[in-house]
Amino acid sequence: MLRGLFKGLRDIVYPPVCLSCRASLKNKGSVDEAVCAECWGAIRMNAPPFCEGCGRHFPAGTGRCPACSGRHFHYDRSFGACRYDDRIKELLHAFKYGGRDYLGRTLGRLLAAFYREYDFLFASAEILIPVPLHPSRLREREFNQSAIFCECLASASGKTVAGGMLLRRTRTRPQAGLEKEDRILNVRGCFLVENGAPLAGKHILLVDDVLTTGATLSEAAKALKDAGASEVTALALAN
């Protein structure tokens, strides 16, 4: 009852607004009292045909899109649940930098929905692993967004999360704002696997929040392959 009272008071002092369009959520349908139903419905999910390199929607059909043709990735394939447009950017920003860790579960619904819709793409993956943050960054943010998304996928798939094996040994500069070549150099060698014996011969589903150039996920996949993983599928919330 106290919790209900507190929520009632909080809603009077800070009436909840949609984190995307800022409209009041009073008397309006919403998802988790965070995003209005209209904005939620306007999120653009990625749909087939997918580019064979980055997993983005690729209307031309087979092969790779111009953004990733000719590039080598250490993962075997990658996908993103939705398009990385301004709406998703804003929601991810509110989640990661606005101290709204509860938004992770809300956004995680998109990943879970994508997983369920295309489960045949992920059926043979055996272990889920989130892209780790450097310990000092984790202390600052207090949560790893990719680990929260990974938990959402674990609930949707019934598969196990192996946290703590893939580590980030260097605190890299944020990838945002760097050119493609600088992004590749920025993350080179930044991951390592510790006590990775359980990964040998396994197909890993590697989870992150965003895939833009694929540099971070590719480097993380390299560390997993070096540790003996046989296959790595990368899945991001947005790409």
Cα dihedral 88, 91, 95, 97, rounded to 10, equals: 100
Q: Choose between 25 and 162: whose C-beta lies nearer to Zn ion.
A: 25
Among 54, 92, 121, 129, the residue binding Zn ion under the rule CB under 5 A is 54
Of 68 and 215, which has the nearer Cβ to Zn ion? 68
Q: Minimal distance in Å, beta carbon 93 to Zn ion?
A: 15
Candidate list 36, 128, 131, 232; residue touching Zn ion; CB under 5 A: 36
Report the nearest approach of Zn ion to the CB of residue 37 (Å).
8
Residue carrying structure tokens 């992920």: 122
Give the range of 19-27, 106-114, 203-211, 231-239 binding Zn ion by CB under 5 A.
19-27
DSSP 31: E
Of 51 and 227, nearer to Zn ion (C-beta) is 51
DSSP string, 114-169: HHHHTHHHHTT--EEEEPPPPHHHHHHHSS-HHHHHHHHHHHHH-PEE--SSEEE-
- Write the binding mask 61 to 80 for Zn ion: x where contact by CB under 5 A, - elsewhere: ----x--x------------
51 binds Zn ion (CB under 5 A): yes
Q: Phi and psi for 115 in degrees, rounded to 5? A: -60, -45
Buried b or exposed e, range 182-199, using 16+ CB within 10 angstroms:
ebbebbeebbbbeebeeb
Query: Which of the residues 95 through 124 are near Zn ion (CB under 5 A)?
Result: none
- Segment near Zn ion (CB under 5 A), from 18-26, 104-112, 213-221, 222-230? 18-26
Distance CA 197, CA 227 (A): 8
The answer to the question of residue 42 lying near Zn ion (CB under 5 A) is no
Q: What is the Cα–Cα distance from 110 to 108, expressed in whole angstroms?
A: 5
Between 106 and 172, whose beta carbon lies closer to Zn ion?
106
88 binds Zn ion (CB under 5 A): no
> What does the binding site for Zn ion look like in residue numbers (CB under 5 A)?
18, 20-21, 36, 39, 51, 53-54, 65, 68
